[in-house]
A and B are shown apart, each in its own frame.
Chain A
Amino acid sequence: MNPFSGLFEITVIGALCAIGCGLAGPILLLRRRVLLGDAVSHSVLAGIAIAFWIHPVVHSPWLRLGAALSGCCAAWAATRLTGVLRGRADAALGLVFPLFFSLGALILSIKASNTHLDVDQVLSGNLECSWLERFRFEGMDLGPKAAWNMLVIVLALLMTGWIWWRDLQIYLFDPQQGLILGRPMAFLEILVVVATTSVIVFSFDAMGPILLVALLAGPGICGWFFTRQLVPFLLVSVIAGLLSVLTGVGLAGTMDLNLAGSIGLAAFALALGTLLLAPDHGVIFRVLQAKRARIRFVARLLVVHIRQHEIRGDHARENSLEGLCDHLNLSEKDVLAGASWLHERSLADWQNQILASTAIGELFAKSLAEGQEL
């Protein structure tokens, strides 16, 4: 077999998972429930244990069905409990997922402790081995099963989103408004829970809980900070997910690192970069904005101040650089920056080392002093 086919198929599986998570992540972020990914992936243990108890075979589809069912149960229970706890989604998740996990661990330790169903193995899903399980049809090898699973999930997700697009938007941004309008918000809630949980369960199966949370949160945050509408939000999130999978696979390939870890780190780095660079909310943007606001403030202060001295007639002495620094308790740098702000708008000018206001500057200062914006 071609040695590159494994890596290629792993990349395809990762990319499909990234698309699924890229679609589910924004929904969970908007509903403030991203940690559902972590919670559901712990909760599947209960379903696996019960399925194993009933039908003790390690590789059976019943285990997967049990996992999906108990994941859905946990997500639904957490959603209901959030209502009881008046919107404390964090507390609801924190109560539900250890319960399911412990139930699973208890059943396994009592009923199945001498079999090879290792809790650690169940919970740490392995992307490197995900392509080994093949999908065969009449003897033909049609590629890895995980890829087909994810493809079906992604298509179902897109279909669901397309059918209920309007209601989905209302549900995500203003569910109360939806209730007033008579839209089926309770149904949408169930739909969203089932859709996100199925993405979580199936991609968790392929790549483990940590990578799952990374691909839900990281790309979702990228989309959230770069866009203002739902469609671009989903698009950017999917693209960021694909980008982190490709970077991660490349990184793991060149430096021989853990695949899930390097994809997770790539997603993490992408999200941190977004928080740094994003327009409107990003750190760099906000620092620049604060600087601009400060200069604008200093300039307004300056123009009123120099106009005051010009009216009094002592501007030759007071409106020098030192005088202004001294009187307004500002640094030289600030005064110069403020003066150049005024100069750019031809409100004031340096004349013989003295800051003098122009005709427009006089009007500007007057209106500022009277509390009017110009």
Chain B
Amino acid sequence: MTSPDGAVLCACIGAGLLYGLLGSITHLRRQSLRGDVLAHAAWPGVLVAFAITGERSPLVLALGAFVFSVGFGLVITWLERLFPRLKGDGAPALLLSGSFALGSVLWSLMQRHLEGLGQAGLKSFLLGQAAAVQWLDAWTLLGVFSAAGLFVFFLRRDIAGILFDRDQAFLLGQPVLAVEWVLDLLLALGVVCGLQVVGMVVLSALLVALPLAAMPHTSRFGTFVLLSTLLGALVGLITPWMVILLESTFGHPGRGVPTGPIFVLLATLVAMASLFGPRIFSGPRTDTSGIQP
């Protein structure tokens, strides 16, 4: 059995680590679908960046995507605060459809007005191309992970306080708005960096599945985040080997097994096993509301 490509392996582990970490926090903030919405919001951002600069380099496109993701994330937060009945799904759904409709309209405008607009560079930016992963992608994911990891590690007390009792955190004088703002930025950064490597669906699946896998086994905030991150790394480690195993079983020459779906299936399997299987650690059965700071 051949061993997997080093870059692919590192990118998978990086994605697992990053989305395990970010996912555990978005899960506790009750924003599980935020990643999916931000990924959709990147589409008009990519188009605007291309229309303004006329360049196709990943950095420029990623910058546009990042600006739009952060902007739409802010609008969602603002709408949810202003209209509590839209919390959780109304506001995200509205912004998801709005941003993608904006993207489609921009796309049809650009197809008419800009010469030589090939579909290749821009569309693949959104859908991800796991087969063509390079070392740069892997290092980007690992870099974003270490930045997010350091932030969460050093501010773990503040973050835990804010996540579990926001009003209390305000009273204690913790920097609530600043921390929430940085967490939003980190999520948008993680989404935009992963978009090119793993794609929209894999990214939103990992953001949801990994914290759900960690959730039933612990009632401590720190353990929860750590477990979610480590499970992400584990799934990321197994995925490339699994792909090779499947390819040697089902594959034909020139027809590979895609990495993304395997990643999603494994992560969902781990989550399902945790939710419905026996507890690993002893102790009472816990749920989201059982996790304490």
Complex contact A99–B101 (CB within 8 A): no
The interface bits of chain B over 26-55 (1 if a CB of A lies within 8 angstroms of the residue's CB, else 0) are 010011110010000000000000000000
**Using a Cβ–Cβ cut-off of 8 Å, how many residues does chain A contribute to the interface with B?**
54
A172-180, A228-236, A258-266, A358-366 - interface stretch = A258-266
Any chain A CB within 8 A of the CB of B89? yes
| Contact partners of B268 in chain A: CB under 8 A | 95, 98-99, 102
Give chain B residues whose Cβ lies under 8 Å from the Cβ of A42.
Answer: 201
CA distance A268 to B250 in the complex (A): 45
Q: B79 to chain A: which residues have CB within 8 Å?
A: 275
Known: A95-B212, A98-B268. A281 touches B83 (CB 8 A): yes
Q: Among the interface residues B251, B261, B289, which one has the most CB atoms of the partner chain A within 10 A?
A: B261
Q: Which of A35, A260, A265, A281 counts the most B-chain CB atoms under 10 A from its CB? A: A35
Residue among B30, B96, B202, B204 with the highest chain A CB neighbour number at 10 A: B96
Given A35-B92, A85-B288, A86-B289, decide whether A261 and B30 contact each other with a Cβ distance below 8 A.
no
Interface positions, chain B 97-148, Cβ under 8 Å from A, are: 97-98, 100-105, 107-109, 112
Decide: A261 and B102 in contact? CB cutoff 8 A.
yes
The 0/1 profile, CB within 8 Å of B marked 1, for residues 34-58 of chain A is 1101100010000000000000000
Q: Are A257 and B109 in contact (CB under 8 A)?
A: yes
**What residues on A are CB-neighbors of B287 within 8 Å?**
85-86
| Nearest CB of chain A from residue B89's CB, rounded to whole Å | 5
Q: Would you list which residues of chain B between 244 and 293 have a CB under 8 Å from chain A?
A: 250-251, 255-258, 260-262, 264-265, 268, 271, 275-276, 287-289
A213 touches B261 (CB 8 A): no
B86 close to A (CB within 8 Å): yes
Is B205 positioned at the interface, with any CB of A under 8 Å from its CB?
yes
Tell me the A216-268 residues at the B interface (CB within 8 Å): 216-218, 220-221, 224, 256-258, 260-265, 267-268
Q: How many residues of B contact A (CB 8 A)?
A: 57
The answer to whether A105 and B102 touch across the interface, beta carbons within 8 angstroms, is no
Find A89's partner among B88, B97, B209 (CB 8 Å cutoff): B88
Q: Does A317 contact B (CB under 8 A)?
A: no
Q: Take A98-B201, A283-B82 as given contacts and tell me if A110 and B207 are in contact as well, using a CB distance cutoff of 8 Å.
A: no
Contact A256 B90 (CB under 8 A): no
Report if B85 contacts A (CB, 8 A): yes
CB-CB nearest in chain A for B98 = A268
**Pairwise interchain contact B208-A213, C-beta atoms closer than 8 A:** no
B176 at the interface (CB under 8 A from A): no
Q: Which residues of B contact A271 (CB under 8 A)?
A: 94
Cβ contact within 8 Å between B32 and A34: no
With contact pairs A94-B208, A257-B105, A281-B83 given, residues A88 and B201 touching in the complex (Cβ less than 8 Å): no
Say how far A75's CB is from chain B's closest CB, in angstroms: 14
A94 to B255, CA, bound (A): 29
B7 within 8 A of A: no
Given contacts A88-B288, A91-B27, A91-B208, contact A260 B104 (CB under 8 A): yes
Docked-complex contact B103 and A261, CB < 8 angstroms? yes
Is B93's CB within 8 Å of the partner chain A?
yes
The answer to whether A106 and B258 touch (CB under 8 A), given A86-B287, A90-B88, A268-B94, is yes
**The 10 nearest A-B residue pairs measured at CB:** A264-B101, A261-B104, A98-B205, A94-B208, A214-B97, A102-B261, A268-B98, A258-B108, A261-B105, A102-B264
- 12 example contacts (A-B, Cβ-Cβ < 8 A) are as follows A34-B89, A38-B96, A91-B208, A91-B211, A95-B268, A98-B268, A105-B261, A106-B257, A109-B261, A114-B255, A221-B86, A221-B94
Please give 8 more A-B residue pairs, beta carbons under 8 A apart, in addition to A101-B201, A210-B101.
Answer: A37-B93, A85-B288, A95-B271, A98-B204, A99-B264, A102-B268, A106-B257, A110-B251
